[in-house]
Amino acid sequence: MTPPVKSSTANILHDPYNLIITGVGGQGNVISSRMIGNMLAAKGFKVTIGETFGASQRGGSVMSHVRISSKAALSPQIPVHRAHMVVSLEPMETLRVLKDYGNQDICVICNTRPTHPIGVISGRLDYPSMAEMEERIKELSRRSWFFDATGMATRIGDPIFANIIMAGALAATGDLPLERSLFEKNLESKFPRAKVILNLKAFDQGYAMI
Amino acid sequence: MATTNIETPPIMTLWWEFRIKGTYVMSILIRGNPGDTHLMMGNEAIVRGALEAGISVAAGYPGTPSSEIIETLARLSPNIEPGNCPDIYTEWSVNEKVALEVAAAASFAGLRSLAVMKQPGVNVAADFLMHLALSGVRAGMVLIVADDPGALSSINEGETRLYAKLMEIPMLEPGNFQEAKDMTCWAFELSERLNMPVLVRTVTRLSHASGNVTLGTLAIPDRRAFFRFDGEVLDPMEGPIMTPPVEIKHCSQLAKLDLAAEIFEDSPFNTYEGPEAPELLIITTSICDLYSREVVNLYELGNRVGILKLGTTWPLPVRTVLERLKTTRKVLFVEEVQPFIEEAVKVLFAGSDMVGPGVAGSGEARSGMAFYGKQSGHIPMFGEMNPERVTRALEAILDLPPGLNEGYRVGQTESLPIPPREISFCPGCPHRASFFSINMVLALDNRRGFTCGDIGCYSMGMLPGGFSTLKTLHSMGSGSGLASGFGKLDRFGMNQPVVAVCGDSTFFHSAMPPLANAIHNNSAFTLVILDNSGTAMTGFQPHPGLTVDTIGNQVPSIDIEKVCRAMGALTRTCDPFDLETTQKYLLDCIKDPEGVKVLILKQACALSPQKRHTRSFEVKVDKELCIGDACGCNRICTRIFSCPGLIWDGENLRAEINEILCVGCGVCASICPVNAIMLKETP
């Protein structure tokens, strides 16, 4: 059982802190945003997560808005150009998010493994090269980190761990108080020990990327 | 033709595990202590509210964004948490009208009950709802309806709120996650006070978003059901429950609504925040309240703009609204989708003492009072609300500084083209194979045959990923109804073959009446039933064609093919992954100019519990055999079939398999003309 929210709060870099987790339907955005939200709600923050899922997201772009504040409940949509951090499970989706929510101070953690849209698979459209995308993301953000989280996750045993790797990386930025012990406690409420160990391995590998 | 038999005991176990186990939210919902605060999805907050009200029966039909409510209740079955779980009967009904009837029966028998549906479901249930509103209910009965402004997961952005007015029933609109719980709980009390069903309207951005919710106490009601009917016909608690005598019942219904309006005047769900005499008064409701607050805080307008948030939106609390109108000269309505409150408030204002008889007689509005909103063009009449829409309206009404990030390097992102990510069928989805075959056969037949669509994942058959197969797409079951009509137009010279598709759940929901209609009226078309063994789009809810019920009990199933045959259709069943047989059967069907043919394409959804994490085949591209553009196949696998599990390797100019995404269905191997895609059966 997730521990109930306590009244004490640790530090968040901005109040409200606006985090966007983006990717492609099926990559596990929803799990990821809820896990991070639960960890912070358990610390006493007011958390609002806005997300779109359902049939419309089969293979489509998926975006979760995670908003953390010590003061008031916030709207489930971040106002345009007001995000602080983009955690992206797919490189092209990073650019899509930056276009609408980016600003001079935004930071980006980017999985470099592309998932090609149908238009690219069928040859109607071109997928930009990673070098081009990386260059553009760097121009459009204050700080950015790039690594192949899907590859790392596959080596741990399942590409879905890319989520956890990204969460570990986010924790390492120090923007939000996402301690490893809290993460472990959160996992233990849901998974058997063997799974917890794999998740922690993913978290640590992500943490090391920052 | 062998079909996959999915109704075997091991599958039941899988199904059970997939649907019931491993949800930590459960423990919060049934063991969370009063006063504790948890992060909850809007739909979970609604469930907790219903549990705090002590419901005994819940029924619904799946539909995004409402599905998690019944899903969550279904997991609360007593065999999961003996001793902790309330004993609730939860049902995925065959359609929304039946769900409302099932819930009403519980109310009639003295048990609090919940009916849940997405907006279009209210259209289906509307006939019963009208009569239920008139007859009245007994124990508290709440209808939760989830609208989808902006059509995030729908093919419409229908408004439920007008039904409250049309059906003359009270309506509540939660504005945040806490209210989603609190209002749901209170709605039962209100329902019992009025002996009326109460409508609670939520929207996608509340139902699917999450926020902090502080829990209340769970009710432990006396759950004994008994239907009393011996009293006088007008006795709401003891008499029979029916709509006649209509005028007397209608009169009493209107009196109940007046009482509701009176109760709403003191409701804590209607709040005002802002200066006593604001320069601008925002009147808002639902999740739009959070957008309004966001923008007022962002622009630091708290001393100029006041926000009247209404939680009880039908009937409107007249005095509460008029008292606020008297404090201002400018009003902005922030709501979605239709100008529902906007119109109602303008009507209240026009009939109020704020408009003097002289002014009204001259046809002029009261000097100085300005209303802004959808009707003035300050907020669009369509689409969902967001902070930007509120900002633009405020910028037009008040003098505000321009947005902070206008100088952001947006131009540079636009210079790098970002291909759109069209939604499509999953890798290994049987629908891709089915639509591929339907297209092939209609093209081969060459009489401009076409396909009428229906509601489910297969609605995506209208998109390029589904080969743009669908040429009509409307409501549940309407593909078959349209096909029944098209199939009678031969006497006017129409000789195009007519195909309709529908899913297994949709078949039971609303395709059976049009099928009966077509057979009886001797219409000619082919109904292709895309049977993927569950209500896949919304998360594998069971339906009458399956051997499991909502909570995993083994139940009798209804065989779709036998039903169609008993109705008088010619039927055939095959596996859509077997392209050759599917196309042969389908060609037979459309070549036959007489009568209704039903082809059942049976193959479980790629995400179904029985298929998850399994592969039938290891798929590889033979690099010698695939010669890419030199082949003459014109890249049929990636360009036409375009399964996300396939990659066109632009460097080596050959097809490749995306090993992360491929689920090993093996269909692409039967498409390659040179057999370059190799299959190896997995152990």
Q: For residue B413, give the chain A residue with the closest CA.
A: A99
**Chain A environment of B425 (Cβ under 8 Å):** 58-59
Best probe of the B interface among A58, A127, A185, by most B CBs < 10 A, is A58
Q: Could you tell me which residues are beta bridge partners of residue A86?
A: A20, A108
A189 and B CB contact within 8 Å: yes
Q: Which residues contact B573 (CB under 8 A, 6 or more apart)?
A: B1, B3, B561, B599, B600, B601, B602
Residue A24 reports pLDDT greater than 70: yes
d(CA B606, CA A145): 34
pLDDT of residue B14: 46
- pLDDT at residue A8, rounded to an integer: 45
Q: How many CB pairs under 8 A join A and B?
A: 218
Q: Do A50 and B209 touch (CB under 8 A)?
A: yes
Total Cβ atoms within 10 A of residue B566: 10
Which one of B27, B30, B31, B39 would you mutate to disrupt binding with A, by most A Cβ within 10 Å of its Cβ?
B39
SS3 B281: strand
Residue of B nearest to A3 (CA): B38
- pLDDT at position B408: 55
Mean pLDDT across chain A, nearest whole number?
Answer: 89
Q: What is the mean pLDDT of residues B280-290?
A: 98
Could A81 and B291 be called an inter-chain contact, meaning their C-beta atoms sit closer than 8 Å?
A: no
Closest listed residue to residue B211, CA positions, set A188, A3, A40: A40
pLDDT at B296 exceeding the cut of 70: yes
Contact list in A for residue B287 (CB cut-off 8 A) is 75-76
Model confidence band, residue B181 (pLDDT cutoffs 50, 70, 90): very high
The predicted model scores a pTM of 0.93
Structure confidence at residue A203 (pLDDT): 96
Indicate the range of B39-48, B77-86, B334-343 predicted with least confidence. Answer: B77-86
Query: What is the per-residue pLDDT for B651?
Result: 82
Q: B145 pairs with which residues across the strands?
A: B117, B201
Q: What is the mean pLDDT of residues B218-236?
A: 92
In chain B, % of residues over pLDDT 90 = 75
- What is the nearest CA distance from B352 to chain A, expressed in angstroms? 34
State the smallest CA–CA distance between residue B168 and chain A in angstroms. 31
Query: Is there a contact between B22 and A190 if contact means CB atoms under 8 Å apart?
Result: yes
Q: Which residue of B has its CA nearest to A137?
A: B413
* Residue B411: pLDDT over 90: no
Contact A73 B290 (CB under 8 A): yes
How confident is the model at residue B220, as a pLDDT? 85
pLDDT band at B80 (very low <50, low <70, confident <90, very high): low
In this complex, do A55 and B457 lie within 8 Å of one another by their Cβ atoms?
yes
Task: Give per-residue pLDDT as tens, B1-42.
Answer: 333 333 333 344 444 444 444 444 556 788 788 999 999 999
* One-letter amino acid for residue A47 of the chain: V
Does residue B412 carry a pLDDT above 60? no
Q: Please answer yes or no on whether B409 and A25 come within 8 Å at the CB atom.
A: no
Query: pLDDT tens-digit profile of B568-589?
Result: 999 999 999 999 999 999 999 9
Asked if A117 lies within 8 A of B293 by C-beta distance, the reply is: no
For residue B383, what are its two tokens? 């689409």
Could you give the percent of chain B with pLDDT greater than 70? 91
> Which tokens is B486 given?
């098209």
Judging contacts by C-beta atoms under 8 Å, the chain B residues touching residue A5 are: 36-39, 212
**Binning pLDDT at 50, 70 and 90, where does residue B49 land?**
very high
Strands A61-69 and A46-51: antiparallel
User: What does the pLDDT read at residue A31?
Assistant: 84
Nearest beta carbon to residue A51 from set B209, B387, B644:
B209
pLDDT (average), residues B269-298: 97
Q: Does A126 touch chain B (CB under 8 A)?
A: yes
Confidence at B609, pLDDT banded by 50, 70, 90? confident
Name the least confident of A51-65, B477-491, B495-509: A51-65
Between A5, A127, A190, which is nearest B212 by CB?
A5
- Is 80 exceeded by the pLDDT of residue B140? yes
Q: Where are the alpha helices (DSSP H) in B32-171?
A: 42-52, 67-74, 96-108, 119-135, 161-167
According to the model, what pLDDT value does residue A56 have? 47
Interchain pair A41, B290: CB under 8 A: no
Residues B476, B514: Cα–Cα separation, whole Å = 11
**Which whole number is the average pLDDT over B633-651?**
89
Q: What pLDDT shows up at residue A73? A: 83
**pLDDT tens by residue, B379-403:** 999 999 999 999 999 999 998 776 5
| Upstream peptide bond of B25 is cis (omega within 30 degrees of 0) | no
Q: Is A72 on the interface with B (CB under 8 A)?
A: yes
Mean of the per-residue pLDDT values for chain B? 90
Partnered with residue A87 across adjacent β-strands are: A21, A109
Q: Please state the separation of Cα B627 from the chain's center in Å.
A: 46
What values do phi and psi take at B63, rounded to 5?
180, 125
Contact B418 A95 (CB under 8 A): yes
- Smallest CA–CA separation between A169 and chain B, in Å? 22
User: What does the H/E/C string look like for chain A?
Assistant: CCCCCCCCCCCCCCCCEEEEEEEECCCCHHHHHHHHHHHHHCCCCEEEEEECCCHHHCCCEEEEEEEEECCCCCCCCCCCCCCCEEEECCHHHHHHHHHHHCCCCCEEEEECCCCCCHHHHCCCCCCCCHHHHHHHHHHCCCEEEEECHHHHHHHHCCHHHHHHHHHHHHHHHCCCCCCHHHHHHHHHCCCCHHHHHHHHHHHHHHHCCC
Taking only residues 191 to 210 of chain A, the set having a beta carbon closer than 8 angstroms to any beta carbon of chain B reads none
pLDDT digits (tens, 9 = 90+) for A126-172: 899 999 999 999 999 999 999 999 999 999 999 989 999 999 999 99
Of A5, A58, A121, the CB nearest to B425: A58
How far B456 CA sits from the closest chain A CA (Å)?
Answer: 8
Of B183, B293, B660, B457, residue with least CA distance to A23: B660
Residues of chain B with Cβ-Cβ distance to A56 below 8 Å are 64, 152-153, 423
pLDDT (0 to 100) of residue A1 = 36
- Please report the pLDDT score of residue A118 as a whole number: 82
- pLDDT tens-place string over residues B512-546: 999 999 999 999 999 999 999 888 888 788 899 99
Residue found under tokens 């975006």: A63
pLDDT confidence tier of residue B357, bands split at 50, 70 and 90: low
- What's the mean pLDDT in B406-431? 75
Q: What is the pLDDT of residue B77?
A: 63
pLDDT given at position B409: 53
3-state secondary structure of B597: strand
